[in-house]
Chains A and B, each alone.
Chain A
Amino acid sequence: MSALILIELNGSEVNASSRAAITAASQLSDSIDALVLTNDSSNSESVSKLAGINSVKMIVDDALEHANVEVASKLIAEAMSGYKYLVSGSSTYSKNILPRVGALLDVQPISDVCEIKSNNTFVRPLYAGNIMATVESSDEIIIMTVRATAFEHSGDGGSAKVEALSSTIPESNSTFISLQESQSERPELTTAARIVSGGRGLGSKENFALIEQLADKLDAAVGASRAAVDAGFISNDYQVGQTGKVVAPQLYLAVGISGAIQHLAGMKDSQVIVVINNDPDAPMSRMADLVWQTDLFVALKELNEYQI
């Protein structure tokens, strides 16, 4: 009962959520292969070094540079021949492609798996993580995405053989135009060890810079609540929550965030939660390990000036 991992690459690096997918798959199968769709064959190098991978299947074509979903789903469906499981990390990359693969193979995919109970039984969140459901699949093939925060990220140390699949690239009805990459010198939000997150309490885009200043001091990523994003303080790719990014850092420092259900669902598994807020009744405070109840601007000034 072998498993195929759909690997997501960031440049030539393997995405952390793909590493979580390998760990998840190792609980289902002892024969795991990786599938890479790319425009650059030199990308096989980082994939073949992944621990726990038997062999790397590569499809290399210029058309695969920007994950054309119509093309990718057909190629993956073909590559699934002989496999029982298709596992990938819960990223926008996989969420875009995997359900379409499910349609082509007549399989009902399973999203955001957080725990593997048996070879066909899984735990996944519903209602923004307020409900955890244990679900059993009766499909012959199982297709799933797994939460990157729920499984260890498998490391390097392997030396898998690489096999180029000679696939015919199908015609497509969509074309890539451009990618506006979010530029940041800071750690990536979903994999950062520390996150400083700001909410509506910051009051303005200018004030939000205080959050960025503190993040730089702590070598942390910047996060935001949906309220802060909707108010235009910061762009949406910093949003933490069920409809934004789900995070579980060692340290989550929430400033001026009251704690809407959907925000809590996105960060509740953080190891240490610190809340800075002047409202003692904010739902966020109940989740905190440390609470500093004060005017957030007073606290931010003191923190930014403090010599570590």
Chain B
Amino acid sequence: MKIIIPIKRVLDPYTQARVNKQTEQVDLANAKMAMNPFCEIAVEEALTLKESGAASETIAVSIGTDKTVDTLRTALAMGVDRAIFIKTESELDLQPLHIGKILANIIRREEAELIIMGKQAVDNDNNQTGQILSGLLDYSLGTFISKFELSADASSVEVSREIDSGIEIRKLNLPAIVTVDLRLNEPRYASLPNIMKARSKPLETIELDSLGIDTSPRIKVISVVESGTKDRASKQISSAEELFSELNQMGVL
């Protein structure tokens, strides 16, 4: 069984997103970038399956300019077998529907039966790509999973989904797409020898244009502003009595 792990390069999640006043866009030019944290969890899950003998091959896929190769090399250093790099000539505003179409093309070509990916990317926070991809391929879908178990005959997976009302357990027949939540696992770090080894692992480059997919934007970003968090007056209090009296006056009790 082949596993494909689509991954995304994003602004390092521990970095504050800023709007560049000149370009009026989120400033990524000199920012520290990293693999989307949910994608790291997806990679870890795929590697665990490979190590258990259930998967024959793990393949990371990412889309972007040349810098995206760094993120694919990170996945290779973590232990993924090979990588597919969909190269764009410039920074395109690719949206989940476009990304879904690109990934569907690669997944059909590779005949992969299991797709493991993050539930959302921490830059645009869409929480859409896995769902869209499942619709395009008509694969079964398990979103927001915190537990994953492959059946002994590798024909289905049982997943625990984190939903608003609790945990839902479903059985998905393969081929399937799962999108992972934070608590599924603890992703490993790439060791130095593995980082060295990753340099010689196979990385195939495909020009986006060669796939013939219409990537004209469906959604145009008109403007972005920093919302931040507004500081408030912060009155100091020092007792329960004072707190309850203030809250009563504010009428929130």
Q: When the two chains form their complex, are residues A130 and B222 in contact, meaning their CB atoms are under 8 A apart? A: no
Q: When the two chains form their complex, are residues B17 and A127 in contact, meaning their CB atoms are under 8 A apart? A: yes
Q: With A102-B135, A174-B172 given, name 13 new contacts (CB 8 A).
A: A99-B129, A103-B131, A103-B136, A126-B26, A127-B26, A130-B17, A131-B224, A133-B221, A134-B221, A182-B165, A194-B253, A245-B164, A261-B16
Which residue of B227, B231, B243, B252 contacts A303 across the interface (Cβ within 8 Å)? B243
Q: With an 8 A cutoff between CB atoms, is B187 at the interface?
A: no
Encode A108-139 as 1/0 by CB contact (under 8 A) with B.
Answer: 11111000000001000111111111111111
Quick check: which of B59-67, B204-212, B232-240 contacts chain A, the rest being far away? B232-240
Sample (11) of A-B pairs whose CB atoms are under 8 Å apart: A69-B131, A102-B131, A103-B100, A110-B219, A126-B17, A130-B17, A130-B227, A173-B172, A236-B146, A237-B166, A250-B252
Complex CA distance for A66 and B171, rounded to whole angstroms: 13
Q: With an 8 A cutoff between CB atoms, is A73 at the interface?
A: yes
Taking the nearest CB of chain A, how far is it from the CB of B41, in angstroms?
12
Complex CA distance for A75 and B171, rounded to whole angstroms: 21
Contacts of B225 in A (CB 8 A): 131-132
Q: When the two chains form their complex, are residues B135 and A174 in contact, meaning their CB atoms are under 8 A apart? A: no
Q: With an 8 A cutoff between CB atoms, is B230 at the interface?
A: yes
Chain A residues numbered 190-209 whose CB sits less than 8 Å from any CB in chain B: 190, 193-194
Interface residues of A (CB under 8 A from B): 10, 66, 69-70, 73, 91-93, 95-104, 106-112, 121, 125-139, 172-182, 190, 193-194, 218, 226, 236-237, 242-243, 245, 250-251, 261, 264-265, 268, 271-274, 283, 285-294, 299, 302-303, 305-306, 308
Q: Lowest 3 A-B CB distances belong to which pairs?
A: A103-B135, A99-B131, A108-B218
When C-beta atoms are compared, the residue in chain B nearest to A172 turns out to be B140
Q: With an 8 A cutoff between CB atoms, is B197 at the interface?
A: no
Count of chain A to chain B residue pairs whose CB atoms are closer than 8 Å in the complex: 244
Which residue of B140, B162, B230 contacts A92 across the interface (Cβ within 8 Å)? B162
A10, A125, A291 — most chain B CB neighbours (10 Å): A291
Taking the nearest CB of chain A, how far is it from the CB of B141, in angstroms?
5
Q: Known contacts being A177-B170, A236-B162, A271-B252, is A138 close to B217, with CB within 8 Å?
A: yes
Q: Known contacts being A182-B165, A190-B164, is A289 close to B234, with CB within 8 Å?
A: yes
Q: Known contacts being A138-B218, A303-B243, is A106 close to B97, with CB within 8 Å?
A: yes
Complex CA distance for A109 and B232, rounded to whole angstroms: 35
Q: When the two chains form their complex, are residues B234 and A288 in contact, meaning their CB atoms are under 8 A apart? A: yes
Q: With an 8 A cutoff between CB atoms, is B34 at the interface?
A: no
Quick check: which of B48-56, B74-82, B118-126 contacts chain A, the rest being far away? B118-126
Complex CA distance for A213 and B220, rounded to whole angstroms: 48
Complex CA distance for A289 and B233, rounded to whole angstroms: 6
Q: When the two chains form their complex, are residues A127 and B170 in contact, meaning their CB atoms are under 8 A apart? A: no
Q: When the two chains form their complex, are residues A175 and B170 in contact, meaning their CB atoms are under 8 A apart? A: yes
| Count of interface residues, chain B, beta-carbon cutoff 8 Å | 80
Complex CA distance for A272 and B163, rounded to whole angstroms: 28
Contacts of A111 in B (CB 8 A): 125-128
Q: When the two chains form their complex, are residues A236 and B183 in contact, meaning their CB atoms are under 8 A apart? A: yes
Q: With an 8 A cutoff between CB atoms, is B22 at the interface?
A: no
Taking the nearest CB of chain B, how far is it from the CB of A298, in angstroms?
10
When C-beta atoms are compared, the residue in chain A nearest to B248 turns out to be A308
Taking the nearest CB of chain B, how far is it from the CB of A258, in angstroms?
13
Which residue of A99, A251, A268, A288 contacts B253 across the interface (Cβ within 8 Å)? A251
Taking the nearest CB of chain B, how far is it from the CB of A107, in angstroms?
7
When C-beta atoms are compared, the residue in chain B nearest to A218 turns out to be B253
Q: When the two chains form their complex, are residues A92 and B163 in contact, meaning their CB atoms are under 8 A apart? A: yes
Q: Known contacts being A102-B132, A106-B97, A303-B240, is A96 close to B143, with CB within 8 Å?
A: yes
Q: With an 8 A cutoff between CB atoms, is B244 at the interface?
A: yes
Complex CA distance for A12 and B244, rounded to whole angstroms: 37
Complex CA distance for A193 and B250, rounded to whole angstroms: 13
Contacts of B138 in A (CB 8 A): 70
Contacts of B123 in A (CB 8 A): 126-127
Complex CA distance for A294 and B11, rounded to whole angstroms: 36
Q: When the two chains form their complex, are residues B135 and A181 in contact, meaning their CB atoms are under 8 A apart? A: no
Q: With an 8 A cutoff between CB atoms, is B57 at the interface?
A: no
Q: With an 8 A cutoff between CB atoms, is B173 at the interface?
A: yes
